[in-house]
Amino acid sequence: MTEYFEVHERDGAARLGEVRLAASLATPAVVDDVLADAGSAWVRERDPPAGDEAVLTVLPHRAFPAGTPGEVQDAFAVEYPDVEFPSAAVVTPETAADHGADAYVLSTAQGIVGHAETFVDAIVATREAIPADTALYLPGVATPANVATLAYAGVDLVDTDRTVVKGTQGKYLTTDGEYFLADLEELPCACPACQTPRESFDREDCAEHNRHALRAALGTVRERIRAGRLRDYIEGQARHEQWLTATFRRLDDQYAYLEQRTPVIRRAEITAATDDTLRRVEIQRYAERVTSRYRNRFSNPLVLVPCSARKPYSDSRSHGQFHDAIQYRAHLVSMTSPIGVVPQELELTYPAQHYDTVVTGRWTATEREFVSDVLAAYLRRNEYPRIIAHVPDEGYRGICERVADELALEMEFTVEGHPTATASLANLASTLSGELKYGKRERQHNTVRAVADYQFGEGAGDDLFADISVESHYPKLRVRNGEGEQLAMLVPEYGVLALTLAGARRWVESSVPTRRVEIDAFVPHGSVLAPGVVDASPAVRPGDEVVIAGPEAVAVGRARMSGPEMVESSRGVASSVRHVEERWPSVRLDCGPEPFEVVDVSREHRLVDGIRSRGDDDVTVVDRGAVVRQATGLPHDDSVGRMDWLRFQNGLYPLAFVGGVTRPGDAVVQLEQRHRRESLLDEVALQLAGLVDSPVVAVHQVDQEGRVE
């Protein structure tokens, strides 16, 4: 369990963290000034070091270079001691495991840098083998040009060794590569070292510049992670070295590794400037969910239209003109690169309103193939009585014709020249003449259900929101059940639903898989920290809506980590908390010859044998789930004041537990809110009363005036 490293923010596999030393170190970072090496065990056995909270101590180790056979690594493996100071363990991809350290040093680093496939395989294997909340250190490899890609892959710590060596070789490093010092007419940098006149700038100055350049590059990386835009940066910056471009493309092939760590929602805009953008997790995830989870609920024709520069599309001038022509007589789906297809109900949902793309009027072959595949998958899943393609000739029409041929579908084309030309809009309107309009209620309900499908899984819209009413105006929709209780609201910023506790209960009770976070016995307020997490659904991703449940509380919130990371981590915020409800001790009564079972009791309770006074010393302490035969209860603390009652055929008996009916035949009385006292959570005395073996006639509660209803 790490005590000296914490992750604060995530951008895919890249993390913004903190090495918690005497002087905190923000990561990704250069570790030179805070690293202490306790030495190699190849020469001799070494005693555990004393350690120091001001530095990160590399524990005694045997480092193996890349390519060392596994049997050799096993034969000379080091047993790392448990220490109480900031520590790092030296590992290879094959020996990486939880050694109880705060950081892990990859000894094969210098043998894998420069080889994209080997590098990616090694980083992924190591990162998944060590605890999620520990730092990964690659020694002797970082340069200003490659450090962004290292961080993108999941590296937290580097050093200046390589930059210094390069400097002594007369190589001047920048974020776009390296230059021979002798070839430079001027120094393209304003760091302190580069204030030296060019004619007197020597190799020692070059090494100093390289150090500054690496630290400056890390500052840029941290800011990009903080903004959620590191991928945008490396798509351009990494192209200066071929192996770096190959590396992030190889990382894209590690979809499961990146997808688990990539938020499902965020504020950051995606810049789509290259075909590589199509391979991003956010793009692939959206396309996959639209074509496997979303289901069209309108019975009207489909109208395919081009996207717009302004987001959301419905705010744009062109889509306003399309709307005027369509007049709610068709279901609108936008075609776009890099997203694929965007149904009108999901135009707000990340990343549909969070991207910008380079507009040239021409589509690349990769773009045409991607959008064609997504459109074809969408139309295989969703049937329409008619398909109208209101798209321009360049790119869009070719894609529609390709998909129509592939699926043997008939499409009607309505554009003459430009989609917003008067003749084109007239054609669109006339093509839809005679079609029935759908109303506001249908539009709003379908939007809520479509977002639920996308967000929670296939069929979630109908399962969670079958009987609803919708309030307010789009996009600030509030969803209520048939009794008027609010279930959720649509968050315009991200295009997802934020659940209330009532909505969370529906989710838990439905057949839709619930993303759960199980916590220890406490009531969370504001957030849940990772140490309080007992278990979490593996499917939870950063930004997901989650149900948080523990012995003392039920809550709903938004995940800040993936489910696996929550379970592994010992520091950091696991989830925010939006709504919370305290759970109270309860007793399930079978009300017959069977014993009474204590359920959902978070703390130990005192049981008193026989009918005795509260002062009796004959006490047995039992744990959660204990069985009490034929018992009624009364408060152990006089401050409760009065009791609720169960009415049996032969009289009234007091019951001091709270809860609800758990299954047919059970009966539990719910205390009024004003009678709930902390003492009930601390200690409750049960008195055995020898109840008759007769069924419960009714369950009654004390009203506000203290009367039994």
Alpha carbon distance 291, 403 (integer Å): 15
Which top CATH class is 270-431? alpha beta
From-to residues of CATH 3.40.50.10630 in the chain: 270-431
pLDDT of residue 1: 60
Bridge-based pairing state of the strands 157-158 and 29-30: parallel
DSSP H stretches of helix in 361-499:
365-381, 398-407, 422-431, 440-456, 460-464
Element (H, E) at 596: strand 596-599
Alpha carbon distance 496, 491 (integer Å): 6
pLDDT-derived band at 44, boundaries 50, 70, 90:
confident
From-to residues of CATH 2.30.130.10 in the chain: 515-583
Q: Are 658 and 676 in contact (CB under 8 A)?
A: yes
pLDDT of residue 234: 94
Q: What's the whole-number mean pLDDT along residues 649-663?
A: 30
Alpha carbon distance 102, 18 (integer Å): 11
Which tokens in the block code for residue 339?
């997203």
Q: Single out the residue of 216, 225, 211 nearest to residue 17, CA to CA.
A: 225
Q: What 3-state DSSP class applies to 2? A: coil
Q: What's the whole-number mean pLDDT along residues 551-562?
A: 94
pLDDT-derived band at 709, boundaries 50, 70, 90:
very low
Residues contacting residue 368 through CB under 8 Å, at least 6 positions apart: 395, 398, 399, 402
Q: Are 515 and 544 in contact (CB under 8 A)?
A: yes
Alpha carbon distance 392, 336 (integer Å): 12
pLDDT in tens, 92-124: 999 999 999 999 999 999 999 999 999 999 999
Q: Which of 6-15, 585-594, 653-662 bottoms out in mean pLDDT, i.e. has the lowest?
A: 653-662
Bridge-based pairing state of the strands 478-480 and 469-471: antiparallel
Alpha carbon distance 590, 630 (integer Å): 9
pLDDT-derived band at 646, boundaries 50, 70, 90:
very low
| DSSP single-letter state for residue 312 | S
Q: Are 355 and 270 in contact (CB under 8 A)?
A: yes
pLDDT in tens, 512-526: 999 999 999 899 999
pLDDT of residue 411: 97
Q: Across the strands, what pairs with 582?
A: 553
From-to residues of CATH 3.20.20.105 in the chain: 5-160+215-253
Question: 562's torsion region: left (phi>0), alpha (psi -120 to 50) or beta?
Answer: beta
Alpha carbon distance 647, 114 (integer Å): 78
pLDDT of residue 644: 30
Alpha carbon distance 157, 171 (integer Å): 23
- CA torsion angle for 229, 342, 392, 323 (degrees, to 10)? -120
Which tokens in the block code for residue 47?
């005693």
Superfamily of domain 515-583, CATH level 4? PUA domain (2.30.130.10)
- Architecture of the structural domain at 5-160+215-253: Alpha-Beta Barrel (3.20)
Q: Is the pTM of this model over 0.85?
A: no
Residue 35: CB atoms within 10 A of its CB come to 18
Cis (ω within 30 of 0) for the bond into 538? no
What CA–CA distances, in Å, run from 381 to 294, 448, 631? Answer: 9, 19, 57
Q: Are 5 and 26 in contact (CB under 8 A)?
A: no
pLDDT-derived band at 582, boundaries 50, 70, 90:
confident
Q: What's the whole-number mean pLDDT along residues 623-630?
A: 30
* Per-residue pLDDT at 704 exceeds 90: no
Secondary structure, 3-state, 265-282:
CCCCCEEECCHHHHHCHH
Q: What's the whole-number mean pLDDT along residues 524-540?
A: 95
Q: What's the whole-number mean pLDDT along residues 427-445?
A: 97
pLDDT-derived band at 359, boundaries 50, 70, 90:
confident
Q: What is Dmax (Cα atoms) for the chain?
A: 106
pLDDT of residue 463: 96
pLDDT in tens, 207-231: 999 999 999 999 999 999 999 999 9
Alpha carbon distance 347, 334 (integer Å): 9
Q: What's the whole-number mean pLDDT along residues 331-351?
A: 97
- Give φ, ψ of 161 to 5 degrees: -55, -50
pLDDT of residue 3: 87
Amino acid at 671: L
* Per-residue pLDDT at 662 exceeds 80: no
Which tokens in the block code for residue 603?
């703390």
Alpha carbon distance 690, 91 (integer Å): 65
